[in-house]
Amino acid sequence: MDGGVIVEQGDARQVIEHPREERTRQFLARYSEN
């Protein structure tokens, strides 16, 4: 979600391994560093 709007849909594996939206890629990159 971004600002209350769903930006990605799909099963968890699909969203994590193949995000479509730049916002999702940024989010995953931030948290995959840990």
d(CA 26, CA 21): 9
> pTM, whole model, 2 decimals?
0.70
Residue-level pLDDT, tens digit, the chain, 34 residues: 788 989 999 999 999 999 999 999 999 999 887 6
Amino acid letter for position 12: A
- Residue whose C-alpha is closest to residue 8's, from 16, 32, 33: 16
